[in-house]
Structure 1
Amino acid sequence: MLPEVFLKTMIDTVKYDEPYENYNRRTELLTLLRKSMIIYNERFQYTRKPNQRWEDIELRVPVPMLKTARSLYLELKKLAAFVYIETDEFAFRDLDIRPKPIDLDNEEIKEHDVLFDEIKDEIIQGIRNAKYTIWVAVAWFTDRDIFKELLLRKNDGVHIRVITSDEKSNRYLIDELEQNFDVVKVKMRGYYLSNRMHDKFCIVDLEFVMHGSYNWSENARNNDETLATALDRDLVKKFADEFQRLYIEHS
C-alpha cells in the first residue's frame, strides 16, 4: 500500500468507522493525521513466518503537534495496525512518531465530501472543530441548536462573524445573534424587495468550508438538501474573499 493511501485510509477510518463516532479525541486525531505523512521502515528481524520480516510505520507529524501525537500514541498504533495489510514479506511491528521535516509542511492534503443526510450533525461537528475563527453566511438562521454551538465556541475564544438576510423570517434569533456575535444583516433589494443574500456557507479557521443548499433553519431539516465540505486552501480562499466582500459592502 502506498504511504499516501495508507494515511488516507487511516483518516477515512476515523471519519466513518463506528468505533470513532463517540471517541472524545476524534477531532484531534483527524487534525493530526491530515497534517502528517507516512514512511515505511523495513526491519532486518524476521517474524516466525518463513522469510517474513517486521516493518514499522513511521508517522511524521508537524513539530508543534508532537506532544499531541505522543498523547495519542496508543490510539494511533491501534489504528495503524488495523489499517495495515500484512504480506508474505512484511508484518506490522510498531508505530514510531517523529517530526515532519519543516520544508514539507507546505504539502496540503485536500479532502472533499458531500452529504444528503444528517447535515445538521455535520455542521455542528464542523463548528466544534473550530479553534480560531468561524465565518458564517446563511440566508436564514433560526436553528437554536446551531446557535448554542456557536456560543460555546465563542466562550472558548473563537472569533465569530455572521452574515444573514435582513428579513422578517430571521427575527426569531436575530437579537441574540447580534448580542453575542459580529453580525451583518444584508437588506432585501430589487423590485418589490424580492432579492436577497442567498448564500449558505461557513468557513472554519480559514482552512475548511461547508457550503450547499442547507440554511441554518428549523425547516431545513425536513427538506431535501445538500452540504459539501472541503479541506482545500484554494477553494476556501475563494469563499473567504466572497465573505469579506459581503461583510465590507453591507457593514
Structure 2
Amino acid sequence: MAMFVHLTSAANAPRIQRSGIRAASRGQGGVRGVYCFPVLQSYTLTHQWLRELARFGSRGGLVAVHVRLDDDQHVLVGRYADRAGGAQPTVEAAEAVRRIAALDDPRGWEVFVPRAIRPREVHRIRPAPQVVGWRYQPDAHGVRPCTCFGCRVRGGYGARRMRERLPHPLDGPPPSARALLASIMAAGDPGDPAVLQKALHWFGMRRRGPLAQLARLAAHPHPSVREELVWAVAGWSTPGVAELLDGLADDPHPDVREAVEAVREASDGR
C-alpha cells in the first residue's frame, strides 16, 4: 500500500480519527477530494507544504495525517501550477509515489485523491514542526514579493508596510471604508453593478466591515453583485455574516449559491 501525508489544522484531528478526511478541497476540473504528498525518505521534502499552509492560519498549529491507500487507487499527480491548465494526469497511487520519488526536485508537487479518506485508511496523526518547507513558492527567497490579495497574508509581520512600499495596481492598499460607502451611495438604487462590484472587491480585503449598510445588496437584481457580496463578507468577523450567508444560500441564481457553498467549505477546512 502507498503511504501519503495530509497536512491539516490540529483542531480537525479528533474528527479525522473518528470519521476520516472530508473531500472538502477542489482539484483539477473542480473535482472534490483531498490533497496529500508521498512519504519520502527526506523528511523535509515530505513535509514541504507546511510553511506555505501555515501562512493561511490554523487552529492549534498543523498536524501530519499519515494515510495508507491501495496501490491501484486512482489519483491526480503533478505540480500545483499544472492544476489550472488541466495537465495533472490520473495515475495509480503507487505510480504517483514512484514518479515523485524519481524527481530531482519534487518541490511544489502534489497528489490529489478524488474522494474522501476513510477512517480505516488513516494510519496515524502526529504533530508536525511548523518551520519545515518553503513559503510562497520554491526558491522564493530573494525574489520580490507579490502584494496581490491572493499572495499576501493579512496580519503577517510587516504586511502593511510591504503593501505601502509595493502597492499592487489592482489589490491595494484599498480605499477607506468611508470612501467605499460613499461610492456605493453615489451609485444609486439599485446601483450600477460595475461600481458596486468594485467597492465590494475592496471591502473583501478587510477583516470587518459595515454589514448593516451592505446587507441591502443581497436583494440587488444583478446576480454578479450578490455573488460579489458573498466573497466580500466571507472573511469578516462582523456579527451577522452567517445570517446573511444563510439567506444567500437560497439565492435563485446558481453562481450565488455556489459561492456560499465554496465559502462554507473553505471555512470547514480551516
What TM-score comes out, normalization by structure 1 length? 0.28
What TM-score comes out, normalization by structure 2 length? 0.27
Higher-RCO chain (CA-CA 8 Å, sequence separation at least 6): 2
